Amino acid sequence: VVPQGGNTGLSGGTVVGPDHESIVLSTSRLDRIESIDPDGATMTVQAGVTIEAIQTAAAEHGLQFAPDWGARGTATIGGGISTNAGGNNVLRYGPMRSHVLGLEVVLADGTVWDGLRSLRKDVSGYDVKQLFIGAEGTLGVVTRAVLSLVPATPHTQSAFAAIDGLGRLRELTQLVRRLTGSELTAYELVPDIGVELVCKHYSVARPIATRAEYYVLLKLASTRPVQEDLLTVLDRAATQGLILDAVVAESAAHNDALWFIRDELPPERYYAHQKHAIKLDTVVPVDKIGEFIQLVQEVTDELTPGAVCYGFGHVGDGNIHMRVLPVADSAVDHFVANRSLLRRRIDEATWSLRGSLSAEHGIGIELIDRIGPQKPDIEWELMRAIKRALDPNDLMNPGKVVPMTGVPPHQ
């Protein structure tokens, strides 16, 4: 049984594996928002409700559902819970796990577990719902959820800044965090190659005239005006030579235009040879982001000279989506021949910095054969024990997250 929500996942978590005869179980008709409790700041929803619909319903009550990412109009809450999805606002609000108070789950034997509690404090035993958050449907099918909402932040302000190279990104991040505190809601890394391709494809103006290899996109949000706070950060960063130039959103439309650039990434979709791209959901310690991107560039230059290499994503939590792909027709065969070795070397670079291959997209079928060396054997055995206890016949989304026997090899 392979559960499927909005089918927007990027790791093949809802794809039927080659070695299993399967039934795809769509949650698309579980599409009702059942109730909203404005006083308790909670919402009870079915698994097929889209993230955008939840956000809209919360806003009508002066609240917000904080998790947010580009596929919000199609991605469903069941899929978001099953992958412990992240997105743009994790820096301030945490991943999906931080926003789930209760769950209803159908187990492998057909038993329906009703854990739809709206309590924010409960230490009466193991927190069972946490097993299903991020399990990618391998332990059961999430059918309903009680979500935690937060107060709306009517005052938001965004800025798009050209940075003076990745070498000083760590200093910039420290400065931004120190001066903005909890107002910092999103902090994204955007490559110039992405800006150029998105603007060209959609015939829109560049967000900033100054050219740089990388930019950062910041968003502050609060219940009070935040423009002065943002200007203070930018002024201090410019004085210290951490940014070259910056543009502050002057209206809601301007803000949307800045975030449009980010939402339309990744850039490889605009390349002819995108099907060969290496696409990564890596996360490393925040202070290692610049070093990690440089390591990937060095390995790329060594094994596949001429390939395009860039990173984008969530600077604030270390989740950088690296992309490597061939551009010239003449480079494709060499790239394809070295693709597996290149990917393995990048994986090793990730682990050398104490990072992870999956930050928010899940393991799916894309990582199941590569994730093994990331964890010690005892950790895999603990996960297999949980899987056997809840799904002894391996019926639920087989071939994902953890195999029933052995440790996933590194291929």
Say if residue 408's pLDDT is above 90. no
Tokens 């994204």 correspond to 188
How far apart (Å, rounded) are the C-alpha atoms in residues 230 and 348?
A: 38
3 state DSSP class of 305? coil
The model's pLDDT over 344-374, given as tens digits with 9 standing for 90+, comes to: 999 999 999 999 999 999 999 999 999 999 9
pLDDT of the residue at 18: 78
pLDDT of the residue at 411: 42
Say if residue 394's pLDDT is above 90. yes
- Least confident stretch, 89-93, 99-103, 401-405: 401-405
The model's pLDDT over 286-312, given as tens digits with 9 standing for 90+, comes to: 999 999 999 999 999 999 999 999 999
Strands (E), 69-138: 100-106, 112-115
Task: Write the DSSP assignment of 230-248 as a string of letters.
Answer: HHHHHHHHHHTTSEEEEEE
pLDDT of the residue at 267: 77
Say if residue 266's pLDDT is above 90. no
Domains of the chain, start order: 2-151 (3.30.465.10), 155-263 (3.30.70.2190), 272-352 (3.30.70.2740)
pLDDT of the residue at 325: 95
- pLDDT mean over 2-16: 93
Percent of the chain with pLDDT over 70: 98
pLDDT of the residue at 407: 55
How far apart (Å, rounded) are the C-alpha atoms in residues 411 and 407?
A: 12
The model's pLDDT over 74-83, given as tens digits with 9 standing for 90+, comes to: 999 999 999 9
- pLDDT mean over 98-121: 98
Say if residue 336's pLDDT is above 70. yes
| Cβ atoms 353, 127 nearer than 8 A | no
List residues bridging with 147 in a β-sheet: 43, 100
Neighbours of 101 (CB within 10 A): 21
Closest listed residue to residue 369, CA positions, set 10, 17, 4: 17
Say if residue 393's pLDDT is above 70. yes
- pLDDT mean over 40-54: 99
- pLDDT mean over 84-106: 96
